[in-house]
Structure 1
Amino acid sequence: MLGIAAAVLFFIAFLINAAGISTNEVFSSTNFMLIGLAALALHIAGIGHGWATRERGRGRRR
């Protein structure tokens, strides 16, 4: 889930940078990129991967 959020943040940063939109310091393309990198790092670390499904009955069914 955080991987998708990182992709969205990278896309917003790209749009701000490509369109040359002047924003204040909080919503700059660099800040969106850094937040996206943090979300991507958390995703790679395994945090926020969603719900894990448990596999019941590991034995073979007949």
Structure 2
Amino acid sequence: MLGIAAAVLFFIAFLINAADIATNEVFTSVNVMLIGLALLALHVSGVANGRRPHRR
């Protein structure tokens, strides 16, 4: 799920950059891209994957 959210944020950052949309200081394309990278890092590290370790 985090990987999908990261992909959506990367797409939004691309649209902001490609269309040269004027945004405020918080939602620049670089900031959106960095949030996407943080979500991608969480996805790769296995946070919130929904699996529990098997215990015997």
- For the criterion TM > 0.5, the same-fold answer is yes
TM-score with structure 1 length normalisation? 0.79
Paired residues, number: 54
Name structure 1 gaps, 5 residues minimum. 54-62
Over alpha carbons, which structure has the higher Rg?
1
TM-score, structure 2 normalization: 0.87
Could you tell me the percent identity over the aligned residues?
73
The equivalent of 1:45 in structure 2 is 45
**What 5-or-longer segments of structure 2 have no aligned partner?**
none
Higher helix share: 2
Structure 1 stretches (4+) deviating beyond 3 angstroms?
A: none
